[in-house]
Structure 1
Amino acid sequence: MQPRPAVPADIPELIRLRAVALDALGVDPGPADAAWREVAHAWFLERVGDRPDVRCLVVGGAPGEPLLATGMAWVTHHLPSPRWTDGRRGYLDGIVTDAPARGRGHGRRIVDALVGWLDDIGIHYVQLHTSPDGEPVYRAAGFTAGRYPGMDLFTGPASPAAPAAPPASAAPTS
């Protein structure tokens, strides 16, 4: 089953899959009426469709059926450099396959299609962050550990606890 562009009618399922991803990352997505879901609906509505700098793909979701997988890519803008003269990079995010549909290559097809879209629009530097469960999919698609380690800073009142440090033998991911 090939990925297709998401449409506004897919948004409830995109939010459901976002909750699946959060749960897999150890973040409680909360109840069906949690405030973040309303914000997510508006967020997806702004990005699903014909924006030239964002692509959201889904697998499944025939009328009345759930989505099996989804993923997004967008263009980010950074300082130009000798190798990346226009400063544009691609970023992959929100790639998740529903638990019953895992192991069928849906995530890999989405990754390949998103990287292909970025390549077609002239973006050849693609970044992402991954969970340990997703890392094999990205490595199989040709991704390698980032050249520079990532860091986070949370300054708001809802700052999460610092994540546990990875084992010393773990390779950094981006």
Structure 2
Amino acid sequence: MQPRKASTADIAELIRLRAVALETLGTDPGPTDAPWRRIAHNWFDERINRRDDYVCLVVGGDPGGPLHACGMAWVTYHLPGPRWPDGRRGYLDGIVTDAPARGRGHARRIVDELVGWLHGAGIHYVQLHASEAGKPVYEAAGFVTGRYPGMDLITAPPTR
């Protein structure tokens, strides 16, 4: 199956696959009425319908039907420099394959098409964060460990 662009009808399945990814990474996604899911619905809706610097690809049947896999790419904006004069980079995220559909090349096809979309936009510096399970897919697509180590700062949200 070839990837296609996600539509509004796919949002519920995109959220379900996000929960699959969270579980795979050891995070409990919570119940189906968890607040993050409503926020995610609005997040996907805005990006699918109103942004031209974002694309979400899915593998599955018709819009609104069950999905096997998904992945997203968007443009990030950074300071210009000699190698990347406009400062734009691509970022891949949310690449997940539902457990019963793994091992069929869905993620690899999605990654290839996302990179192609970014290249078509003139972006040739693409970044992502890889899980151990996803690392072989990205390496097969030509990704290498970044030059600079990643660092995170997570602060506590304000108490109410």
Structures share a fold, TM > 0.5?
A: yes
Per the alignment, in what secondary structure is the counterpart of residue 20 of structure 2? helix
Structure having the larger proportion of residues in helix: 2
Q: Which residue of 1 aligns with 2:46?
A: 46
Q: What TM-score results when the alignment is normalised by the length of structure 2?
A: 0.95
Cα drift, residue 72 of structure 1: 0.3
Q: What TM-score results when the alignment is normalised by the length of structure 1?
A: 0.88
Deviations 1:123-144 (CA, angstroms, capped at 9, x unpaired): 0000000100000000000000
Matched to 2:10, the amino acid is D
For residues 64 and 120 of structure 1, do their structure 2 counterparts lie closer, same or farther at Cα, with a shift above 3 Å needed? closer
Per the alignment, in what secondary structure is the counterpart of residue 109 of structure 1? helix
Cα drift, residue 157 of structure 1: 3.5
Per the alignment, in what secondary structure is the counterpart of residue 76 of structure 1? strand
For residues 89 and 6 of structure 1, do their structure 2 counterparts lie closer, same or farther at Cα, with a shift above 3 Å needed? same
Q: Which residue of 2 aligns with 1:169?
A: none
Does residue 101 (structure 1) correspond to residue 101 (structure 2)? The answer is yes
Q: Which residue of 2 aligns with 1:59?
A: 59
Counterpart CA distance in 2 for 1:61 and 1:132 is 28
Counterpart CA distance in 1 for 2:149 and 2:61 is 37
Counterpart CA distance in 2 for 1:151 and 1:97 is 26
Deviations 1:120-165 (CA, angstroms, capped at 9, x unpaired): 010000000010000000000000000000000011248xxxxxxx
Per the alignment, in what secondary structure is the counterpart of residue 84 of structure 2? coil
Q: Which residue of 1 aligns with 2:127?
A: 127
Check the 8 A contact 1:10/1:61 in 2, yes or no: no
Check the 8 A contact 1:90/1:126 in 2, yes or no: yes
Q: Which residue of 2 aligns with 1:142?
A: 142
Q: Which residue of 2 aligns with 1:5?
A: 5
Identity of aligned residues (%): 74
Cα drift, residue 65 of structure 1: 3.4
Counterpart CA distance in 1 for 2:141 and 2:51 is 25
> RMSD between aligned alpha carbons?
1.3
Check the 8 A contact 1:115/1:126 in 2, yes or no: yes
Counterpart CA distance in 2 for 1:82 and 1:62 is 44
Q: Which residue of 1 aligns with 2:91?
A: 91
Unaligned runs of 5+ in 1: 159-174
Counterpart CA distance in 1 for 2:67 and 2:57 is 10
Check the 8 A contact 2:58/2:67 in 1, yes or no: yes
Check the 8 A contact 1:6/1:48 in 2, yes or no: yes
Matched positions, count: 158
Per the alignment, in what secondary structure is the counterpart of residue 49 of structure 2? coil
Cα drift, residue 64 of structure 1: 6.2
Does residue 73 (structure 1) correspond to residue 77 (structure 2)? The answer is no
